[in-house]
């Protein structure tokens, strides 16, 4: 990996061609979770992967850093490059070097990602020690405070010695975002980052992601089943259904003028404020199957 | 010997242990109508030696347990389960089998010395500090190693089983690029620390009983060797002094473990205070003072029952609180029907699990009692007496016989360990789980 030349600036950050993911099963045919999707993401560009549960969006995102356990997962693709590195040809050591450094993840449940018996400082310092050799040991606390401030944690220096249980769900997710961003990754994958949070906090976290994206000029892949929250954060949207991308395009265009029946059905499920709103519709799968 | 279901310790455990030891000593003196013995300087020296052995053994057991348990975690769930079972099997092997196996292996096969059994004679002028240090080290090493071996089985099992109970951060840590070693030794182990501290404290309660057998077999000049003599001659004042001194030793050990980081919520004060006492040691003291009859074994059974009471109490409370009976209640089912259809079933399974565990622990407790007080074997029925008799190695002659041919001892130990392990496994299977 290190031997490879630095990719040109106009080269795409992420390039996926014909990605297929299947999970082997005991005494049964393997399950095809992702059926040949292609995706390209430029530097600084952001995209939302939208779809219902089980549509393969999380499996797709996890495969970008080969986080799916192999086996039972089997990932194949004609091309799968991140910042010029062919991901499918990397060994575990090379993968570890890009995880957190070039591609960072935020998961939906921060309580299951933070170690309950270590302080926030220890956990963020670990990420810095692993991926930011330019930050000296003495300067780590200042760097952590800087990132905690950036994600909107008040009294950040005091929070350094806090444990996860001493923070609210929203604060914990902010800490996770700080931990993901302090290593200055080129790509941030937010896998349903607001699902476990209440509605007011959801808005705060999405606004924070939008602002950080502008400030840091990084790429974001936002995974969600909620089309209503993506507008402020991403440039493009890819709608996934049963392991395939059924529609993709600029976010405004897809939201205003959906082409695929599934995208239309998904949009019809988004609740809207205001008088005389039509009843929310459930997705009619018989129409989609036909 | 493996422990009863896990329970949190009460608050101020060292103080409770100290008071418990003093009360037990007072009761022995009261019923034996003896005046308290004045502890001599020799006793304090012996207690000090035993305390060193206990500390080394507990630390060794902890290190072995953590190392093996975490290595097992790296080998995958199947291997992990198998190693946990091996750990539990090792914990079920009677300590008398371990110590005599050690003697025959260490001295008989390897030809290495045990300083307390074969003191080295140095020529005049060979008493430099290094020689004295080596002499002392060799003296302490043998009992500490055997005790660590007896305790590490339970520790391995605890590391693996508790490791499943803590939060699994592996996936999110992998996503952050955290190396395998750090995921295991920093993140996983840091979560295990409070649980292991309590496990270590609970091992402290049975360690003195093992120490008696080990020090007696190895002729180590410690508290255990002295206590074994008191038990054999049924000296009430000596036994009382032994109870009080072990209370102080345990209090000191548990107090030393307190500063380790991480706390668990303390258990209910009364039941936990009752359970977190060295009941097996106290039962041995009583058995030594009472005439041998089958009734005497009830004391041992009671001791096993009491030492597990807090664990069972805590387990039942948790199950009762989490039992999903609300659906039945909102359907209008009466309390008695809920009890019959939901609670009684769980309670029955728990009772069955509890009986199996108590039986297993009684079998192991009997092995300890028979090793120290061979006269108790006469009160057992013939088949049981046949199994337990090889464990009673009280005279030089029986020791010679055992070293010459340890088959009977090993067969007896394997038989007891297998029976106890099977009962514990049945208990584990029968024990209801809500998750």
Q: Mark yes or no for CB contact A100/B178 under 8 Å.
A: yes
The dihedral of CA A196, A202, A208, A211: what is its sign?
positive
Chain B nearest-CA distance from A105, in A, is: 6
Least-confidence region, from A89-103, A270-284, B147-161, B172-186: A270-284
- A270 vs B: CB within 8 A: no
Chain A nearest-CA distance from B69, in A, is: 20
Q: Mark yes or no for CB contact B191/A115 under 8 Å.
A: yes
Token couple for A28: 């049964």
Q: What count of other Cβ atoms lies within 10 Å of the Cβ of residue B414?
A: 15
Q: Mark yes or no for CB contact B175/A179 under 8 Å.
A: no
Taking CA atoms, what residue in A is nearest to B182?
A: A126
Nearest residue to A170 (alpha-carbon basis) of A140, A142, A209, A121: A209
Distance CA B262, CA A117 (A): 8
DSSP codes joined into one string, A249-281: EEHHHHHHS--SHHHHHHHHTS---STTPPPP-
Least-confidence region, from A106-115, A276-285, B139-148, B239-248: A276-285
In chain A, how many domains are there? 1
Taking CA atoms, what residue in B is nearest to A67?
A: B175
Chain B nearest-CA distance from A241, in A, is: 25
Distance CA A185, CA A99 (A): 9
Residue A54 in any domain: the answer is no
Out of A99, A118, A130, closest to residue B175 by CB: A99
DSSP B267: P
Q: Give the residue numbers spanning the domain of A134.
A: 109-184
Residues of A in contact with B169 (CB under 8 A): 112-113, 115
Q: Mark yes or no for CB contact A115/B167 under 8 Å.
A: yes
Helix (H, G, I), strand (E, B) or coil at B202: helix
- A188 vs B: CB within 8 A: no
User: How are beta strands A236-241 and A46-50 bridged, if at all?
Assistant: parallel
DSSP B301: H
Long-range pairs for B264-269: beta carbons < 8 A, 24 or more residues apart: B264/B8, B264/B9, B264/B194, B264/B195, B264/B198, B265/B8, B266/B8, B266/B9, B266/B10, B266/B11, B267/B7, B267/B8, B267/B9, B267/B10, B267/B310, B267/B314, B268/B10, B268/B310, B268/B313, B268/B314, B269/B10, B269/B11
User: How are beta strands A73-76 and A14-25 bridged, if at all?
Assistant: antiparallel
Q: Mark yes or no for CB contact A115/B262 under 8 Å.
A: no
Q: How many CB pairs under 8 A join A and B?
A: 56
Residue A113 in any domain: the answer is yes
Nearest residue to A226 (alpha-carbon basis) of A202, A256, A250: A202
DSSP codes joined into one string, A127-173: HHHHH-TTS-TTTHHHHHHHHHHHTT-TTHHHHTT--GGGS-HHHHH
Distances (CA, A) of B159 to A126, B183, B188, B197, B198: 24, 15, 10, 11, 12
DSSP codes joined into one string, A71-88: TTEEEE-SEEEETTEEGG
Chosen for mutation from B76, B168, B175 (greatest number of chain A CBs closer than 10 Å) is B175
Backbone angles phi, psi at B254, to 5 degrees: -65, -35
pLDDT at B2: 43
User: How are beta strands A28-41 and A14-25 bridged, if at all?
Assistant: antiparallel
Residue B16's contacts (CB-CB under 8 Å, 6 or more residues apart) are B10, B273, B276, B277
Q: What count of other Cβ atoms lies within 10 Å of the Cβ of residue A260?
A: 16
Taking CA atoms, what residue in A is nearest to B262?
A: A117
pLDDT at B83: 94
Q: What count of other Cβ atoms lies within 10 Å of the Cβ of residue B36?
A: 14
Chain B nearest-CA distance from A63, in A, is: 11
pLDDT at B245: 92
| Continuous H helices in B258-388 | 269-275, 279-289, 296-322, 326-330, 335-338, 344-372, 382-388
Q: Mark yes or no for CB contact A107/B172 under 8 Å.
A: yes
Q: What count of other Cβ atoms lies within 10 Å of the Cβ of residue B365?
A: 27
Of how many residues is chain B composed? 435
In this prediction, residues A221-238 reach a mean pLDDT of: 81
Chosen for mutation from B176, B185, B262 (greatest number of chain A CBs closer than 10 Å) is B176
**Angle at A236 (CA atoms; ends A233, A242), nearest 5 degrees:** 110
Distances (CA, A) of A89 to A59, A76, A82, B431: 19, 11, 12, 48
Given a contact cutoff of 8 angstroms between Cβ atoms, the answer to whether B33 and B266 are in contact is: no
pLDDT of residue A5 exceeding 60 = no
In this prediction, residues A172-187 reach a mean pLDDT of: 86
A193: Cα separation from own chain's centroid: 8
Q: What count of other Cβ atoms lies within 10 Å of the Cβ of residue A264?
A: 15
Q: In what order do the strands lie in the sheet with A103-106?
A: A103-106, A187-191, A219-224, A46-50, A236-241, A244-250
- A107 vs B: CB within 8 A: yes
Chain B nearest-CA distance from A114, in A, is: 7
pLDDT at B263: 65
Residues of chain B with pLDDT under 70: 1-6, 34-39, 124-127, 261-268, 292, 434-435
For A97-111, letters b (16+ CB in 10 Å) and e give bbbbbbbbbbbbbbe
pLDDT at B258: 77
- Decide if the complex's ipTM is over 0.90: no
Q: Read off the pLDDT band of A2 (50, 70, 90).
A: very low
Residue A159 in any domain: the answer is yes
Nearest residue to A110 (alpha-carbon basis) of A158, A199, A203, A178: A178
Residue A130 in any domain: the answer is yes
Taking CA atoms, what residue in B is nearest to A180?
A: B176
The dihedral of CA A68, A71, A72, A75: what is its sign?
positive
| Continuous H helices in B41-183 | 41-74, 77-92, 95-103, 129-165, 170-175, 180-182
Given a contact cutoff of 8 angstroms between Cβ atoms, the answer to whether A107 and A113 are in contact is: yes
Distance CA B226, CA B45 (A): 11
Q: Read off the pLDDT band of A220 (50, 70, 90).
A: confident
pLDDT at A3: 42
State the pTM of this model: 0.81
CB-count exposure of residue B378 (10 Å: 0-12, 13-18, 19+) = exposed
Return the residue matching tokens 């649980």: B195
Residue A163 in any domain: the answer is yes
In this prediction, residues A30-49 reach a mean pLDDT of: 86
Token couple for A240: 């996934």
B383: Cα separation from own chain's centroid: 26
DSSP B405: -
Backbone angles phi, psi at A46, to 5 degrees: -130, 150
pLDDT of residue A231 exceeding 80 = no
- A105 vs B: CB within 8 A: yes
Among A residues 195-224, those touching chain B with beta carbons less than 8 Å apart: none
Residue A116 in any domain: the answer is yes
Residue B291's contacts (CB-CB under 8 Å, 6 or more residues apart) are none
Out of B177, B193, B262, closest to residue A101 by CB: B177
In this prediction, residues A269-284 reach a mean pLDDT of: 68
Residue A179 in any domain: the answer is yes
Taking CA atoms, what residue in A is nearest to B175?
A: A99
Among A residues 61-80, those touching chain B with beta carbons less than 8 Å apart: 65, 67
Out of A96, A113, A116, closest to residue B177 by CB: A96
Residue A243 in any domain: the answer is no
pLDDT at B422: 94
């Amino acid at each position: 990996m290190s031997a490879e030349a630095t990719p040109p600036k106009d080269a795409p950050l992420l390039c996926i061609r014909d990605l297929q993911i299947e999970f082997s099963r005991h005494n049964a045919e393997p399950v095809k979770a992702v059926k040949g999707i292609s995706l390209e993401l430029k530097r600084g560009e952001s995209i939302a992967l939208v779809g219902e549960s089980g549509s393969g969006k999380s499996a797709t995102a996890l495969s970008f850093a080969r986080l799916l356990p192999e086996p039972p997962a089997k990932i194949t693709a004609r091309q799968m490059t991140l910042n010029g590195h062919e991901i499918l040809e990397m060994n575990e050591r090379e993968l570890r070097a890009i995880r957190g450094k070039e591609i960072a993840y935020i998961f939906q449940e921060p309580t299951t990602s933070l170690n309950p018996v270590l302080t926030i400082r220890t956990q963020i310092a670990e990420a810095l020690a692993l991926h930011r050799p330019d930050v000296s040991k003495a300067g780590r606390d200042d760097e952590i405070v800087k990132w905690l401030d950036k994600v909107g944690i008040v009294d950040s220096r005091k929070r350094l010695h806090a444990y996860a249980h001493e923070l609210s769900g929203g604060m914990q997710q902010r800490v996770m975002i700080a931990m993901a961003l302090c290593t200055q990754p080129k790509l941030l994958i937010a896998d349903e980052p607001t699902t476990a949070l209440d509605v007011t906090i959801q808005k705060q976290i999405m606004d924070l992601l939008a602002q950080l994206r502008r400030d840091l000029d990084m790429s974001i892949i936002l995974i969600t089943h909620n089309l209503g929250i993506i507008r402020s954060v991403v440039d493009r949207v890819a709608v996934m259904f049963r392991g395939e991308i059924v529609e993709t395009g600029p976010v405004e265009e897809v939201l205003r003028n959906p082409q695929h029946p599934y995208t239309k059905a998904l949009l019809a499920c988004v609740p809207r404020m205001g008088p005389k709103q039509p009843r929310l519709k459930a997705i009619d799968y018989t129409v989609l199957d036909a | 010997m493996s422990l009863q279901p896990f329970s949190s310790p009460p608050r101020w455990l060292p103080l409770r242990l100290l008071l418990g030891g003093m009360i037990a000593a007072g009761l022995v003196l009261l019923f034996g109508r003896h005046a308290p013995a004045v502890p001599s300087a020799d006793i304090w020296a012996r207690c000090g030696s035993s305390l060193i052995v206990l500390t080394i053994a507990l630390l060794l057991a902890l290190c072995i347990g953590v190392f093996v348990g975490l290595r097992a975690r790296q080998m995958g769930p199947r291997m992990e389960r198998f190693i946990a079972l091996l750990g539990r099997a090792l914990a079920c092997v009677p300590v008398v089998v371990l110590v005599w196996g050690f003697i025959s292996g260490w001295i008989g096969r390897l030809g290495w010395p045990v300083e307390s059994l074969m003191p080295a004679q140095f020529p005049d002028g060979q008493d430099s500090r290094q020689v004295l240090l080596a002499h002392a080290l060799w003296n302490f090493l043998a009992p500490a190693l055997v005790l660590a071996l007896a305790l590490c089985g339970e520790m391995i099992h605890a590391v693996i089983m508790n490791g499943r109970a803590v939060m699994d951060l592996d996936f999110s840590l992998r996503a952050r690029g955290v190396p395998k070693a750090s995921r295991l030794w920093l993140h996983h182990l840091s979560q295990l620390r409070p649980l292991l501290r309590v496990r270590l404290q609970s091992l402290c309660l049975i360690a003195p009983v093992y120490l008696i057998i080990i020090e007696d077999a190895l002729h180590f000049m410690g508290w255990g060797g002295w206590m074994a003599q008191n038990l054999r001659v049924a000296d009430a004042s000596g036994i009382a002094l032994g109870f009080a001194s072990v209370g102080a030793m345990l209090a000191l050990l548990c107090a030393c473990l307190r500063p380790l980081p991480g706390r668990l919520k303390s258990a209910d004060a009364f039941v936990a205070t009752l359970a977190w006492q060295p009941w097996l040691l106290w039962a041995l003291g009583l058995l030594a003072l009472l005439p041998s009859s089958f009734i005497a074994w009830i004391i041992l059974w009671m001791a096993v029952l009491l030492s597990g009471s807090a664990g069972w109490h805590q387990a039942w409370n948790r199950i009762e609180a989490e039992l999903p009976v609300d659906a039945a209640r909102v359907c209008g089912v009466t309390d008695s029907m809920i009890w019959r259809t939901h609670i009684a079933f769980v309670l029955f399974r728990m009772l069955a699990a509890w009986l199996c565990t108590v039986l297993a622990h009684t079998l192991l407790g009997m092995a300890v009692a028979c090793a120290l007080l061979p006269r108790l074997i006469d009160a057992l029925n013939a088949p049981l007496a046949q199994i337990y008799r090889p464990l009673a190695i009280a005279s030089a002659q029986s020791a010679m016989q055992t070293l010459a041919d340890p088959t009977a001892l090993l067969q007896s130990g394997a038989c007891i360990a297998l029976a106890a392990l099977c009962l514990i496994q049945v208990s584990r299977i029968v024990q209801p789980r809500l998750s």
